[in-house]
Amino acid sequence: MQTVQIRLHPLDKQITAPRGSSLIDVLHEFGVEFPCGGKGTCGKCKVKLLQGEISADPKHKRKLQDLGLSPEWRLACMSRAEGDLVLEVGQYEAMIQADDTLFSFESREGYGVAVDLGTTTLVAQLVELSTAKVLGVETALNPQRLWGSDLISRLEAALAGNASELTRLIREEIGQMILKLLDGSEISIDRLVLVGNTVMQHLFCGYDIKSLSFYPFESSNLGVRHFNASELEWDIDCRQISFYPSIGSFVGSDILAGIHATGMWRRKEYSVLVDLGTNGEIVVGNSETLLCSSTAAGPAFEGASISMGMLASTGAISSVANTEDGLLCSVIGNVPAKGICGSGLIDAVAVLLEDGMLGEFGEIISGDLELALTDQVRLSAKDIQEFLLAKAAIAAGLKILRRKLGVTSDEVSHIYIAGAFGNYINLEKMVRTGMMCFPPDRFHKLGNTALIGAKMFLFSDIKFASELLALTRHVKLESEEDFQDIFVEELNFTPPSI
Ligand code: FES
C-alpha cells in the first residue's frame, strides 16, 4: 500500500496515511470537526496548503469562492491526500462554531483543557482562553477497552472487582495525554473540563458502579465533581479540574455538552439531538424544556452486535451505493474492506431495501442467510434484525419524547446528529430506513458535540452547566406505559411518508 506523509500545523503533527485518503478520515482523528457534514457550506474544515498539491475540481473551487477563500485554501471535506502535504488547519485557529450563529466567547486569561472521555476514544484539547485558539490535540484509545468495547462489559468488569483498576487506568491515560499536550512547557492550566457518559463518569470519579448496573439504574452520584491534580496523581499545575454533571441514569455530561454545542437550549423552535454512539441518546426540546433519554441502539451502530461490525476507522465500509455494476462500497482510509461501521450499515440496509432484496420486516427475500457487500464483508440475516431493533429503538424514543412535549415532527426545525460516525451518514438513506423521519434538509451533522461542548464550557462557570441541567428532564423510555407497543410498531422498514 502506498502512503503519504501529512504534517499538520500549528500542532506540528506528522501523519502517515494511505495515498488517496479523504482528509475527513485523516483529520477527524485529530479533533477536527465537520460541522456541515462535508457539504462544503460551512467552510469550518478549511485547510491552508503550505506544501504539496490538492487538486480542486470545479465544484470545490466554486465552494471556495462562495466562502471567500483565497487559492491556497482547500476544504478538507472535499479533499484527498494524493501526495505529501503540509497543512495549516484553520479550525485550530478559532473556536468551533457548531451552531449556525456565531459562538461568542468571553475572553479569559490563561489556558484550558477540554476532555471528551469516550467509551472507545479519548480526546483532549489545549485551548488558549484569551483567543479560543486550540494549541494542541491529543487522542488515545480508552485503556479500559481491555475489558470489552461496550459499557456492559465495563460494568461487568467493575462489578467483578476491577473497578479501582479501571479508575486507575483511565486517570493515568488522561494524565499522560495532558502531559503530552503541555509538551514540557511551564503552562499552568486554569480550568480542565471532562465530559463523558455516566459509566465513564463513575469509573473516572471512582464511584460505586452497582447502582448503574441494576434496575432502576439510578445513581446519586451524577452531579459535578471537582478534583485537584494531586488526587488524580497528575503532575500538572491546574487550578480547577471538573467532571461535569450527568443528566440521568444513562445520559451523561457528554450529552449536556452536546446540548450546549447545538445551541438548542436557547431556541424557541424545537430541536432534536441524537447521538448514535454507545447509548443512542436522544434529546428533544427548546429553550423551555429538554427531554432526554437513552436507547439500546448504540451497539449496532458501533459494530458490537453486527457480525462484521466495527467502529468508524480505517478499513470500515462507511457508505454503500447502488451502481449499474452492483454495490459500490467506500472504505475509510481507502484500504481493502475489513468490516462495516454504523453509516455503512444504514446505507447497506437502505440500498438493499430499495433494490427489493430485503422485505418490509428486514427479511432477506432470496431466503439466503447472508448477503455479500464485498468479497470480504457480508451482512447476515441476524445483522439486519439487529439493525432493525436499533432503528426501532431510536424511532420509538423520538416518538415518545415528541409526544410528551406535544410536538409534531413538522414542528422540529433542527435535527443534530452527533457521534463518531455521524459525519459519514447519508441522510436520505437514513430517512429511508425510517429511523428518523424528518426532511433531510433539517439535519445537521456536528461530529463530536461532546468535545465541542466541553470546549465551550471552558468559557463559562459551572453555574451555567447547572442552569442547562435545570432545563433538562430525563425520561426512562422503558417505564413509559406504551413504550413496548410503539417499539413494536416501529419494527419494520415501511417507507416513511414525509
Ligand atoms: S465545509 Fe467542510 S465540513 Fe463544512
Query: DSSP assignment, residue 159?
Result: I
Q: Is the CB of 43 under 6 A from ligand 1?
A: yes
Atom of ligand 1 lying closest to residue 40 CA:
1
Closest ligand 1 atom to residue 75 Cα is: 2
250-303 confidence digits (pLDDT tens)? 899 999 999 999 999 999 999 999 998 777 899 999 999 999 999 977 678 877
Are 378 and 371 a contacting pair, CB within 8 Å? Answer: yes
Q: Do domains 3-93 and 111-243 have the same CATH topology?
A: no
The CATH homologous superfamily for domain 261-298+387-489 is ATPase, nucleotide binding domain (3.30.420.40)
Instruction: Give the nearest ligand 1 atom to 78 CA.
Output: 2
Q: Helical H runs in 458-496?
A: 462-471, 483-489
Of residues 363 and 219, more confidence is placed in 363
pLDDT at 245: 97
Could you read off the pLDDT of 372-397 as tens digits, one per residue?
999 999 999 999 999 999 999 999 99
Our answer on whether the CB atom of 407 is closer than 6 Å to any ligand 1 atom is: no
446 Cα: distance to centroid of ligand 1 (angstroms):
10
The CA–CA distances, whole Å, from 324 to 320, 321, 328, 495 equal: 13, 10, 9, 23
Tell me, in angstroms, the distance from the centre of ligand 1 to residue 266's CA. 24
Is the Cβ–Cβ distance between 72 and 49 less than 8 Å? yes
- Fold type of domain 3-93: Ubiquitin-like (UB roll) (3.10.20)
Q: What is the DSSP letter of 162?
A: I
User: Up-side HSE of residue 196: CA atoms within 13 Å toward CB?
Assistant: 27
Q: Which residues of 173-190 are buried (b: 16+ CB within 10 A; e: fewer)?
A: bbbebbeebbeeeebebb
Length of the chain equals 498
Q: What mean pLDDT value characterizes the chain? A: 90
Question: Does ligand 1 come within 6 angstroms of the Cβ of 74?
Answer: no
CATH fold group of domain 111-243? Nucleotidyltransferase; domain 5 (3.30.420)
Pairing label, strands 290-294, 472-474: parallel
Whole-number Å distance, alpha carbon 322 to ligand 1 midpoint, is 25
Is the CB–ligand 1 distance for residue 238 below 6 Å? no
Pocket of ligand 1 contains residue 40 by CB under 6 Å: yes
Phi/psi for 55 (5° steps) reads: -75, 140
Residues 62-109: tens digit of each pLDDT: 999 988 888 899 999 999 999 999 998 887 765 444 444 445 677 788
Indicate if ligand 1 lies below 6 Å from the C-beta of 446. Answer: no
Contact 349, 458 (CB under 8 A): no
Query: Is there an atom of ligand 1 within 6 Å of 280 CB?
Result: no
Ligand 1 pocket check for 36: Cβ under 6 Å = yes
Residue nearest to atom 1 of ligand 1 (CA): 40
For ligand 1, the distance from its centroid to the CA atom of residue 39, given in whole angstroms, is 6
**Domain parsing of the chain, residue ranges:** 3-93, 111-243, 261-298+387-489, 308-376
| Cβ neighbour number for residue 442 with a 10 Å cutoff | 17
